[in-house]
Structure 1
Amino acid sequence: MLCRPTSFVAIDVRLGPRFNTPCTARPAQPRPRITLMSRTTTFTLFFLAVFFQAGAYGLTFMLPRLFDAFGASEKTVGAMLFVTAITTLITVYFSGHLSDALGRLRALGLACLAIAASLFLFGWTSSVGPALVLASALLGFGWGLTYSLGPIVLTRLVRADERVRYFTLLSVFVMAGFGLSPVLASVLEARGFTISDAFYATATLCTLSAALFFLLRIPVHRHALVPGPEASSRITVAVLGRIFASRARTPVIMVFLGACVFAGLNNFQTVYADARGLNYANFFLAYTVTVIVFRLILAKFKGGATPYRTIAMLQYIMCASIILFMFSGSSVVLYLTVAVLFGLGYGVSYPILVAMAANDADNDIGPQTLQLFALTYFVGIFGFPLIAGWMLTEWGAASVLVLIALLAGIEASMALRRAMQAS
């Protein structure tokens, strides 16, 4: 007996068309099992992707050295980072629109590819011109997306009482990338390579990061605490008004001040070190190790009974480290002490501040609050070097250090005031 075909187009790959196929019973074939990536593996790959792309920002600390090779000054560094700042602001504002259209993990992958292209252009360019401007714009686009969307992805995977812990772990990997990429550049220089080679190497890592984010799209969706489609992340004028009318406005303003301090000390660290006969790699290595060690030690710390008091104490330490740097001269011991104190003050307070921004936000606009937090951060990170570069060229390093010490004191006092209001 012969079986009648169920469909004219049904094909058996081995036997050809199913005409004249003997009608014998066939054992049921088991459906292929879909192996779900474990929660631990998902977090591991997510943090690894963050680490690979975070090195891109650390290399902006090398821009004064890179630009010096073709005769550009710190003013040019500031101008290019200002282009990055403008692009970042536009990107962060519209990041919700883009992530709503593509999905957050796809948007993160696209951002990493943009960063990779930016780093390649920085390494390849040998003069001030359109290529340098394009590289700066691509960096702003990429960092605007990765920095604003990364914490939002994390909030889908962790409970509210876990946020300080996981934001701390996230910041550990970010800071490791920040701090170790300048060390990588120094090592490559010592072995006869150029600063441009460090940009090419980091561009390769950013491409790998993009692949990981694309891979994690389905696992992150399946491990989300609240299943279903992602909530809208779009920022509107009305939403901005609500954020600044809420308690979240304090961490949003504070992160801007802290970003200015961070950029003022780190973006021109190669200039400070060269002027004092010091090795900038020692600063970045000591700073990075301090941040990583203390953030790991405090990974389960939730900020204490009064988190803003903890933030204030740490940021007064940050302010003290800058004042010490003003008078430390060429002492290697004091130089390393400054790096350790700054790492403790800024590095440890930052993830607690991120968690406070998330906790202070209204529940229905949590993603937008974190995006605005990222936006104000980038205003400081990429905008302040324009001011600092001009001051450094016209008035010298002391003027920049005095300004950032003042900003650090203001930020710490804001945290102390908020703590006193809560008690």
Structure 2
Amino acid sequence: MKNYTSVLLLFFLMTSASLLAQINFEKGYFITENGQKTECYIKNEDWINTPSKFEYKLTQNGETKILRIPNLKTVVIENAFKFEKHTVPFDNSDRDVSNLKFDRTPDYEDTTLLLNVLLEGKVDLYAYRDQDKKAFYFKKENGTLEPLIYNVYTNENRDILYNKRYQQQLLTEFPCTGITERKVIRVDYKKGDLLSFFKDYSECKGETAVQFSKPKKGTFHIKVFAGAYNTSATTDLGISAFFAKGVDTEATWSPTFGAEFEYIFPFNKNKWSAFIAANYSSYEGEGEFLDLSVRRNFKLEYSAIQIPIGARHYMFLNDTSKLFLSGAVVFDILLDAKGSGNVTIEKDDFGANAGLALGLGYSYDKYSIEARYLPGRNLLDNGSLSRSELKQFSITIGYTIF
């Protein structure tokens, strides 16, 4: 299989997979600026940043429409999210480390933002996030939205400093049994800590807070897999073979097996994961080359434990099946290797060079199948006069045991 053909085929399969992925719309409603409420189905993308628009349908099989922020007042999916548009003080100063300002006081300007309603209770908690900027607001009963004051700034020594005025706000604005200075100091300016604080405060005041989004946790999986590698190699023997170069050794199939550890991230509808695996890989192939018009033989043998470390993106087709794309950096732990025949390469000449891997797969319940392409990578030590590029294509079947 030629490199260009393989890459184009993989690109075609990846593009086709993206087009086949199912888009889920969930029942909800939105209220426009003029107070009109519309029951509909809203695309829930489980955003990390505050969205700039929403896609919705009036019926599950209806036409997809766009709801933009200027026309929006409130948008809700029960047990998933609630967004409201408000005009609030917002610090829009540059957060880039090289451009931090010297003043610890935020540069607040009244800005109209779409805020994520995190909690409604004795006190309501709101959040806004856009790339490297985040802001949290609170509203007491029958009150107005106020910012929890936080700012990153610098000094003449270019130290990175933090204005944590919000901790003083928590201590003075929300007095209650159990809310102490020691407890408040441990509250970081992040969603989880602030949610926990305001839920505790509501309970302290005898009220149960309503959290719109369900608590999200990542999941951990262990998978075992087995399959086969199709492997070939091109070895540049350099001056060791009197200018003979580019010996192609035959493509052969060999077994592979291993285990994978995967962590599914708790955002974007569990579509992203990170993984690390260990699997056995081996190759044995022969080739011929001409040396001063004499036909010579060369044999390459190689075995290693491969360690792919990478990321995976899932595209759900339904509740039990999904397509996925993966990319990884692959490291080899050498077990044995040699080049033999009319030219020899000693095991000590082989090095632990890294390579890349691209994969496409399908998962049904606990079972999965994946095709993975590993472009040519040099097996020999960088100081060697020779070079041996190994190219691999694998098909594996996996079973998730945990």
TM-score for the superposition, normalised by structure 1: 0.19
Determine which structure has the larger helix proportion and give its number.
1
Which structure's relative contact order is higher, taking Cα pairs within 8 Å and 6+ residues apart? 1
Determine which structure has the larger strand proportion and give its number.
2
Larger Cα-atom Rg: 2
